[in-house]
A and B are shown apart, each in its own frame.
Chain A
Amino acid sequence: MKTNVLFIISLIVLAASFDTINQLLLKNSINSLSSNINSIKKVIVFIGKLLLIPQVWIGFFFCCLSLAVWLFVLSKADLNFAFCADSMHYIFIALASRFILKEKVGLWRWVGTASIIVGIILLTISNR
């Protein structure tokens, strides 16, 4: 690999963080709406209401940022490395769920998170 792998990893961290912010904003917006959807008409009304929430558009902006960074990563790194390293967004979502949404994160989730970290470290060493 031509470009420094730690530089690539930090860009993947950036892309995954932007994506996590998008997910949090979207989840927060959806939580604020009624979830009683049982017909096509209600789906359309639901989407319409969602599009009126400014948070959703801020989320969309972060989604675009994440995509731009992701494409830049792919222009410099191998796909198999970048895709697997991107699994770190599971870690960010677990951390954000625990500390921002105050959800309960169980022991097995932390075990899984640790396993993902070990995997990313091995890939990083291997692609150095």
Chain B
Amino acid sequence: MIKNRVTLKILLFLVVSDFLETFSQFFFKKTAIPASGLDVKNIPDALIFLNTVFFSPYLWIAFLLVFLTFVLWSTILSKIDLSVAVPIASFSYILVPLVSIIFLHEKVSALDWTGIIFILSGVIFVSISSHKDGAATQ
């Protein structure tokens, strides 16, 4: 049975999990920024790098957000199918560039956005195809 009834509550959960995922990536980026000057060419360099990121409080905020996303996502998937949830969740491919522009002052060009649209439609195709193909074989 395909569980595809997206209620308002599920939609809200999906939007919240999109934001949680986006901000976990934002905090991973904040974790990595102080290490941007480090060059990793050998094992001791790698240890210095790991030491720098491991003690960053941002890393632990990111872990917390990843854990919350996981809990929320498990709840979502008990209510609707992955093939329905992923296309709505792939909204984060828009959200991450927006957060990058607003909070990290990154530049996103028109060509970047074109690439993002291709990726977004690709992710949607990949996920909805599972029940389309399933229906075709019945």
Contact = CB atoms under 8 A, between A and B. Distances in A.
Contacts of A70: 28
A117 B127 CA distance: 15
Interface SS of chain B: helix
A100 interface: no
Given A74-B32, A75-B36, A104-B133, A112 B96 contact: no
B35 A75 contact: yes
A13 to B, nearest CB: 15
Interface string A70-112: 1111111011110110010010001000000000101111011
A46 B120 CA distance: 35
B102 to A, nearest CB: 11
Nearest to A117: B122
Interface stretch (A28-36, A54-62, A118-126): A118-126
A81 B112 contact: yes
Contacts of B11: none
- The size bracket of the interface on B is 35 or more
User: Number of contact residues on A: which range applies?
Assistant: 35 or more
Nearest to B98: A80
Given A114-B122, A115-B125, 14 more contacts: A71-B28, A74-B29, A78-B106, A79-B29, A79-B104, A80-B106, A83-B92, A106-B133, A108-B126, A109-B133, A111-B125, A118-B122, A122-B115, A126-B111
Interface of B: 25-26, 28-29, 31-33, 35-36, 38, 40, 46, 49-50, 53, 59, 92-93, 96-97, 99-101, 104, 106, 108-109, 111-112, 114-130, 132-133, 136
Interface of A: 68, 70-76, 78-81, 83-84, 87, 90, 94, 104, 106-109, 111-123, 125-127
